[in-house]
Amino acid sequence: MGKYTLTTINCFNELKKNLEKNNIDVIVKKVDNRYNYILEENISLKTLVEIVCDVIQEKVGNSFTTKYLANHYELTSEEKEKIKVIFLESACIKKTEGASYVSHYLLYLPIFEFLEENFYLDIDGWIKFRIQKYKLILGDILEQTIYDYDMNSNYLQWLYFLREIHFSQELREDFIHMIFTANTIELYNEEQEKLDIYERIKEFDEEILLEEDLIMNLLINLSPKTILLHDKNLYKNQSFVITLEEIFENQIGYCFDCSVCFRKDL
């Protein structure tokens, strides 16, 4: 087995960082502005390909997202930064347990097959000529991320609006306990009486199919001064909990030791 050589001009920092992170011994030869990394002979092909994929994902992911979002003039700088973080952290982009679905088929496998037959890889050349389809898929995913962000923002604005309207009205419940398990949410009033969510929502003539939306709508209509969350970290859908905390920010309280609160008697 021969020694592999990775060469780059534009990805020097990313390559250096990933090689050091993996404790790979290399010999570096600089010719003009080009860095040639000659790797140790005993490096596994799998490790080498993962390093190259990480370098490409880091280099392309940031620059591609920045350029793509620059054309969305309707978005503020703050919104673009939030979308960028969401996009780069998404399950189909971020590497988890080896490689994401997208990078596995469009980066990892092609590079693996190439390095099975070759010992020299120009990373800049690969980025320029061999990842067009990868960028195309990234564009589709990013566009969906923008759409989802916009829809979520509009939904939150609507919830804020409803909350402000109902908060100015007479309170129906002063205090609400929200008790979470992995799959369920139960509501109790200050007297520790369980609230029938489906029955209570009939008071407001609402037709809501999803239980989480029903709970959110009920809380908005009840407008309690305090909502005490019990074991919120157990719940499977943490995005709902986060939305709840954003909408009722100043009304939220927490109970993390339910063995000493009223719940032990339920």
Q: Dihedral of CA 114/115/117/120: which sign?
A: positive
C-alpha distances in angstroms, 121 versus 55, 130, 134, 135, 196?
13, 12, 18, 20, 64
Q: Which of 162, 185, 202 is the last residue of a domain?
A: 162
Q: Does one domain contain both 90 and 179?
A: no
Better pLDDT: 28 or 248 = 28
Task: Look at residue 96 in the predicted model and tell me its pLDDT.
Answer: 46
> CATH number for the domain including 251?
3.30.420
| Residue 36 located in a structural domain | no
**Long-range contacts at 118-121 (CB < 8 A, ≥ 24 apart):** 119/2, 119/3, 119/4, 119/5, 120/4, 120/5, 120/7, 121/4, 121/5, 121/6, 121/7, 121/52
pLDDT (tens digit per residue) in 22-37 = 888 899 999 989 999 9
Name which of 183, 188, 182 is nearest 200 in CA terms: 188
Domain count, the chain: 2
pLDDT (tens digit per residue) in 87-134 = 887 745 555 444 467 888 889 999 999 999 999 999 999 999 999 999
pLDDT (tens digit per residue) in 151-184 = 777 666 656 655 655 554 555 678 899 999 888 8
Q: Does one domain contain both 49 and 158?
A: yes
Mean pLDDT for 224-238 is 88
Q: Which backbone phi and psi does 50 adopt, to 5 degrees? A: -65, -40
Q: Does one domain contain both 156 and 65?
A: yes
Domain residues for 256? Answer: 172-265
Task: Look at residue 239 in the predicted model and tell me its pLDDT.
Answer: 81
Q: Does one domain contain both 151 and 178?
A: no
Residue with tokens 């001064």: 225
Task: Kindly indicate the confidence band of residue 202, based on its pLDDT and cuts at 50, 70 and 90.
Answer: low
Question: 174: which 2 tokens?
Answer: 């002063």
Q: pTM value? A: 0.58
Partners of 46 in beta bridges: none
| Residue 19 located in a structural domain | no
| Residue 126 located in a structural domain | yes
Q: Does one domain contain both 96 and 121?
A: yes
Of all helices (H) and strands (E), which one includes residue 40?
Answer: none
Q: Does one domain contain both 109 and 152?
A: yes
